[in-house]
């Protein structure tokens, strides 16, 4: 640890995430950056998320009274695994050439889709290995995306340690499509892949407001393994004088003792993430998120791990992110997740 660290001062250049001075072995939370965007369907840019959030995090205030000085338990972000960077470059190049002619079933394009699927599979295994290495030392892993497909490896690793684990997904979309656009590991299929590849107890979804019939039918057939809290239903309850506090209790009552939080930034109101790939009107306010996390902390349940995905900065060209609103919001939400997981 760097002894010049002053929690009340400005972050020192070259310090760790949130301006903190901790090495991995001194940290209770280890953040794994996964700059990956292979299957984006609308706007791109989320592979710059980790870099942008790291930079914007230097301006996040450390002191949050309800969490005390929790950051002294240490938050550390690893450098990007160079193999992930290589995989991302390769798959982005392939995706670009497919996008020019997305409807085509030409053999050459099918071959490219298959190549992306193979790269996605390798990424999934890499993320699983990185998360496993954090779990081995008894620390809390967090994955910072990248597109939503990066969650699969993390959930898979954690579920082996916590067989009863629930997934709490905050998202505008169900992400339950089968094989979206020919991609086995699409961001739009991540939770379908989680449910079929892992043994998580259930999937509780909050903020959902954009979905297709296939996904609704899948939920119906899931026999209660998927518990959606649709955005419109939440607001109907609020407008009929139910409190957000009681809705949070209903959400939390569906979770098992160990909880994995998968936070797709598009679950939040798009004012916090105007540049995310598939923004949707509606969504959670930051204060609602804070209260939901507090409700988990108030219960006897614990956050075993978490991810934050789909944050896409605007200022990719000049690569200066300290004023990028998407990154500023992403950093603050990441900090809230860290506080809720450690407390
Ligand atoms: Mn998603």
Q: What is the CA(12)–ligand 1 centre distance, in A? A: 34
* Percent of all residues in the chain with a pLDDT value above 70, rounded to a whole number: 98
Q: What is the CA(67)–ligand 1 centre distance, in A? A: 28
In a domain, 178, yes or no: yes
In a domain, 9, yes or no: no
pLDDT of residue 43: 72
In a domain, 173, yes or no: yes
Q: How confident is the model at residue 126 (pLDDT cuts 50, 70, 90)?
A: very high
Q: What is the CA(80)–ligand 1 centre distance, in A? A: 22
For 144-162, what is the mean pLDDT? 98
Q: What is the CA(44)–ligand 1 centre distance, in A? A: 14
Q: What is the CA(22)–ligand 1 centre distance, in A? A: 31
Q: What is the CA(127)–ligand 1 centre distance, in A? A: 17
Q: What is the CA(36)–ligand 1 centre distance, in A? A: 14
Q: What is the CA(243)–ligand 1 centre distance, in A? A: 26
For 92-114, what is the mean pLDDT? 84
In a domain, 6, yes or no: no
Q: Is the pLDDT of residue 109 over 90?
A: no
Q: What is the CA(172)–ligand 1 centre distance, in A? A: 7
DSSP string, 45-107: -GGGHHHHHHHHHTTS---BGGGBTGGGG-EEEPPPPHHHHHHHHHHHHHHHHHHTSTT---H
In a domain, 12, yes or no: no
Collect contacts of 332-335 with beta carbons under 8 A, ≥24 apart: 332/60, 332/286, 333/263, 333/265, 333/268, 333/272, 333/286, 333/289, 333/308, 334/31, 334/53, 334/57, 334/142, 334/144, 334/308, 335/18, 335/57, 335/60, 335/64
Q: What is the CA(265)–ligand 1 centre distance, in A? A: 8
Q: What is the CA(170)–ligand 1 centre distance, in A? A: 8
CATH number at residue 152: 3.40.800.10
pLDDT of residue 215: 97
Q: What is the CA(173)–ligand 1 centre distance, in A? A: 6
Q: What is the CA(229)–ligand 1 centre distance, in A? A: 15
* Percent of all residues in the chain with a pLDDT value above 90, rounded to a whole number: 83
Q: What is the pLDDT of residues 237-288, one digit of tens each?
A: 999 999 999 999 999 999 999 999 999 999 999 999 999 999 999 999 999 9
In a domain, 207, yes or no: yes
Q: What is the CA(268)–ligand 1 centre distance, in A? A: 11
Q: What is the CA(65)–ligand 1 centre distance, in A? A: 31
Q: What is the DSSP letter of 5?
A: -
Q: What is the CA(33)–ligand 1 centre distance, in A? A: 17
Q: What is the CA(195)–ligand 1 centre distance, in A? A: 14
Q: What is the CA(26)–ligand 1 centre distance, in A? A: 32
Q: What is the CA(310)–ligand 1 centre distance, in A? A: 8
Q: Is the pLDDT of residue 103 over 70?
A: no
Q: How confident is the model at residue 1 (pLDDT cuts 50, 70, 90)?
A: low
pLDDT of residue 12: 87
pLDDT of residue 2: 64
Q: What is the CA(188)–ligand 1 centre distance, in A? A: 6
In a domain, 47, yes or no: yes
Show the domain range for 320: 17-342
Give the total number of structural domains in the chain.
1
Q: Is the pLDDT of residue 156 over 90?
A: yes
Please say whether the dihedral angle defined by the alpha carbons of residues 168, 171, 177 and 180, taken in this order, is positive or negative: negative
Q: What is the CA(148)–ligand 1 centre distance, in A? A: 5
More confident residue, 71 or 42: 71
In a domain, 11, yes or no: no
């Amino acid at each position: 640890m760097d002894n010049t660290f002053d929690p009340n001062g400005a972050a020192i250049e070259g310090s760790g995430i949130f301006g903190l001075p901790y090495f991995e072995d001194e940290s209770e939370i280890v953040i794994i950056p996964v700059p990956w965007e292979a299957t984006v369907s609308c706007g791109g840019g989320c592979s710059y998320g980790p870099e942008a959030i790291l930079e914007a995090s230097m301006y996040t205030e450390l002191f949050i009274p309800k969490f005390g000085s929790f950051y002294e338990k240490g938050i550390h972000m690893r450098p990007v695994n160079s193999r992930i960077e290589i995989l991302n470059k390769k798959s982005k190049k392939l995706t670009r050439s497919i996008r020019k002619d997305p409807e085509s079933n030409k053999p050459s394009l099918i071959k490219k889709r298959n190549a992306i699927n193979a790269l996605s599979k390798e990424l999934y295994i890499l993320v699983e290995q990185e998360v496993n290495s954090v779990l081995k030392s008894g620390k809390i892993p967090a994955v910072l995306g990248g597109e939503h497909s990066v969650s699969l490896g993390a959930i898979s690793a954690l579920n082996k340690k916590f067989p009863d684990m629930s997934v709490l997904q905050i998202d505008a979309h169900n992400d339950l499509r089968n094989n979206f656009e020919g991609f086995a590991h699409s961001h739009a299929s991540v939770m379908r892949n989680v449910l079929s590849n892992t043994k998580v107890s259930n999937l509780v979804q909050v903020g959902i407001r954009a979905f297709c019939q296939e996904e609704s039918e899948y939920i119906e057939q899931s026999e209660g393994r998927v518990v959606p809290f649709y955005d419109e239903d939440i607001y109907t309850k609020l407008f009929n004088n139910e409190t957000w506090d009681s809705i949070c209790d209903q959400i939390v009552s569906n979770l098992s003792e160990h909880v994995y939080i998968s936070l797709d930034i598009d679950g939040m109101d798009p004012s916090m993430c105007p540049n995310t790939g598939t923004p949707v009107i509606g969504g959670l306010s930051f204060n609602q998120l804070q209260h939901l996390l507090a409700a988990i902390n108030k219960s006897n349940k614990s956050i075993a791990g978490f991810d934050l995905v789909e944050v896409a900065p605007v200022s990719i060209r000049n690569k200066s992110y300290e004023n990028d609103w998407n990154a500023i919001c992403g950093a603050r939400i990441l900090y809230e997740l860290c506080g809720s997981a450690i407390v």
